[in-house]
Structure 1
Amino acid sequence: MAKRVIKLALVGGGMFGRDVVLRALADVERCGVVPYLGIPGLDLHAGDLADVTFEVVAVGTRTAGSAAALAATYRQWVPGSRPAACHGDAPWIEVLDEHRPDVLFVATPDHLHTAPILEAVDRGVHVVAEKPLALSLAEARAIVERSREAGVVVAVDMHKRYDSFLRSAFVDVVPRLGELLYARAVLEEPLDVSTRVFKWAAHSNPFSYVGVHWTDLFAHYLGLRPVSLHAVGQKRLLANWRDEDHPQGIDTFDAMQVSVQYHSGLHVSYVNGWVNPADFEGAVNQELEIVGTRGRVFVDQQDRGMRSAISGAGTRTHNPHFQAEVPRADQPGDRVLVGYGKDSLIAGLEAATRVSLDLADRTALAGTYPDAESAVTCVAILEAAAQVAEANLACLADNQGAPVTARFDHDDYTLVTAGEQKVAG
Structure 2
Amino acid sequence: MSRRPRIVIVGAGFAGYRAARTLARLARDRAEIVVLNPTDYFLYLPLLPQVAAGILEPRRIAVPLSGELRGVRVVLGIADHVDLDRQAVHYTDPEGAGGGLGFERLVLSVGSVNKLLPVPGVAEHAHGFRGLPEALYLRDHVIRQIELAAVAGDPGLAAARCTFVVVGAGYTGTEVAAQLRMLTVDLARRIRLPHGVRPRWLLLDTAPRVLPGMDEKLSRTADRVLRRRGVEVRTGTSVKEAARDGVLLSDGEFVASRTLVWCVGVRPDPLVEGTGRPLEQGRLIVDPYLQVPGCPDVFACGDAAAVPDLVRPGAFTPMTAQHAWRQGRVAGENVAASLGVGRRRRPYRHRDLGFVVDLGGVQAAADPLGVPLSGLPAGLVTRGYHLAAMPSGRVRVAADWLLDAVLPRQGVQLGLVRSWSVPLDTASPELPAAPRSVTDTPSEGAS
Please indicate, yes or no, whether the TM-score normalized by the shorter chain is above 0.5.
no
Q: TM-score by structure 1 length?
A: 0.27
Greater helix share, structure number: 1
Q: Higher strand share goes to which structure?
A: 1
* TM-score (normalizing by structure 2): 0.26
> Which structure exhibits the higher relative contact order, with contacts defined as CA atoms closer than 8 Å and separated by 6 or more residues?
2
